[in-house]
A and B are shown apart, each in its own frame.
Chain A
Amino acid sequence: MSAQLTAIQLLDRIMKNVGVPWQSQRADGFGDGIHSGSPDTSVTGIATTFIPTIDVLKRAIASGKNTIICRETPFYSRGERAPLFFRNGPEPPKELMDKDPVIRAKRELIEANRLVIIKLFDNWDARKTDGQLHGLAKALGWDRYHLKPKNGADIYRPGNEYFSLPKTTLGQLAKDTRRKLQAKGIRVIGDPQSSVAKAALTHGFLLVNDLRRVMKVPGVDVVVAGEPVEWEASEYFEDLLTAKMAKGLILLGNEVSEEPGSGEVAVWLRTFLSDIPVEWIPAGEPAWTV
């Protein structure tokens, strides 16, 4: 009986099916697992999403789902006490959070509706197939251009994230990308007229070492990514342009780059949770541009 499955039992099923040794802790910050809510809560339905915004929570509640499986957590922080190199902020002090009207209202919404929020990030990414990368490639319609390693299987993983696109311009590729992903505005570095064909696709937070890694592959002229640190990866890319070592960087934003992967999480959950409704509720882009 589906009504008997509790949040902790759901997590147990996820751990059994994930296919890699489960890591529940990080050196700093929130690990995967139940982030908010009681482990004994009966799961009425599951919503997968990039981030449980107020709007996502309300949509989940309206459709009778009390369990959210997400990549980023509800209170605007990865929970780190000492983030590296000032790339992001530490979790705000408890006193500030306890009196903040947005946090208080969101906590009340979660508690009043007995929601359970489960973080699934590191263990999902550790799977043999990178579901985030695969989901994004499919959303872009790029799966048919995926470059397979010689004699290798068509596996989506870091190290195997290259695509041979029909030759186009950076400007056109940015437009196509925006349309395919229904994004309101994406940021681009590079000359819109330059011709591009071989792409590296990454998702989420773009660290400079990841950018350097994909640019080591011969012939990569355009990188599509999520969110850079502007004094790290985007400066590095500006410098690559000046050195004529690359042509374009298309920055989708973190949500736009990761959200299709939340759809993949839903598809995967349905393979072992046949009697519980599972819905992907995209959070949508947080910002607009002028």
Chain B
Amino acid sequence: MDGMNKHIWTRREVARLGGAGIVAATSGFGQRKRITARQVVERIRENIGVPWHYRTADTFKWGDPDAPITGITCTFMSTYSLLQRSAAAGNSFVISHEPTFWSADDVATDLRDDALFEQKMNFIDQHRMVVFRFHDHWHARRPDGIFTGFTRKMEWEKYATKDPMKFEIPEITLDALVKTMQAKLRVRSARVVGDPGLRVTSVRHGGHYIAQTMAAAQDADVVVAGEVREWESMEYFRDAVALGQKKGLIVLPHEGAEEAGMEECARWLRGFVSEVPVQFIASGDPFWIG
């Protein structure tokens, strides 16, 4: 890719500036100890508690991993807006659960001549930022880091069952449960299948895909999922309800279901990264309901 060649040149340039102490000096936080993004990721690998996979999405996506960083932002998704807010907060290292360049492996799309790609990449370069994706291993951790954050945000620790994905909660209607979730998870765009008056006492995470939500449906009144394909899980639950089953499906925006897990990630990182501040910044629910 043309953009890649240009990027490598820029990265070298940034590395040279970093080596000369210019990057650290421009950060405005003179007292901070020197640490690089790569060193932070090495500590993540030491602390994650599961073997690091050779084939993984959890790699550096842009920027120079060997330049000193000024602070860390943990977030659900490294959107352009999030990068701007991270830079404004003085954090040059962004740890993002989801992709930066709009596909699962960040390179599935041919982005040559894409003006937005140029702009986003240039922003990262100009602000001497570096972006790392932290997805597979944060999910692989036991318990799953993303769901740990969800449980804490919902204050559902007391409703945990032997199945780490399932909760037994005091009886509530489906409608009231959705409203509670929207408030606690700062979501405005939940979509629901099922009778609003359904009485709910058990809730289970359903992943994203039909085989997962189908399996979860056998085991709880309500399945919660952060983004599903509409022709898969929404249609399954619609049919289940049409057959008289007392079931519901709450589809949260992907972000709303998983963002708390990256707040959890910031909390976890602070346990072994003290050189620079570690902050959670929400990328936010992208949707409103019209």
* Residues in A lying within 8 Å of B, measured CB to CB: 51, 53-55, 72, 76-78, 84-93, 96, 100-102, 105-106, 171, 174-175, 177-178, 185-189, 192, 208-209, 212, 227, 230-243, 245, 250-251, 253-255, 286-290
Contact = CB atoms under 8 A, between A and B. Distances in A.
Interface residues of B, number: 64
Contacts of A178: 290
Nearest to A185: B289
A92 B190 CA distance: 25
A243 B242 contact: no
* B98, B110, B289: most-surrounded residue (chain A CB, <10 A): B289
Given A92-B214, A287-B191, A208 B103 contact: yes
A120 to B, nearest CB: 15
Contacts of B208: 86, 89
Given A89-B210, A289-B191, A78 B182 contact: no
B77 interface: yes
B190 A208 contact: no
A272 B189 CA distance: 44
A179 to B, nearest CB: 11
A212 B117 CA distance: 11
Nearest to A100: B214
A251 B238 contact: no
A287 B190 CA distance: 10
Contacts of A171: 290
B240 A102 contact: yes
Contacts of B290: 171, 174-175, 177-178, 185-188, 192, 250
B235 A72 contact: yes
B88 interface: no
Contact of A188 (B193, B235, B243, B288): B288
Given A89-B212, A92-B211, A177-B290, A76 B231 contact: yes
A78 B231 CA distance: 8
B289 A92 contact: no
A114 B138 CA distance: 49
B253 A240 contact: no
A243 B80 contact: yes
A232 B242 contact: no
B179 to A, nearest CB: 6
B79 A238 contact: yes
B219 interface: no
Interface in B89-111: 98-99, 102-105, 108-110
A185 B182 CA distance: 16
A171 B289 CA distance: 10
Contacts of A245: 115-116
Given A76-B232, A255-B230, A238 B288 contact: no
Closest 5 pairs between A and B when the two form their complex, measured CB to CB: A89-B209, A174-B290, A92-B211, A287-B191, A54-B242
Nearest to B105: A85
B289 A254 contact: no
A288 B234 CA distance: 11
A290 B239 contact: no
B229 interface: yes
A188 B253 CA distance: 12
B178 interface: yes
A76 B119 CA distance: 39
Contacts of B191: 185, 287-289
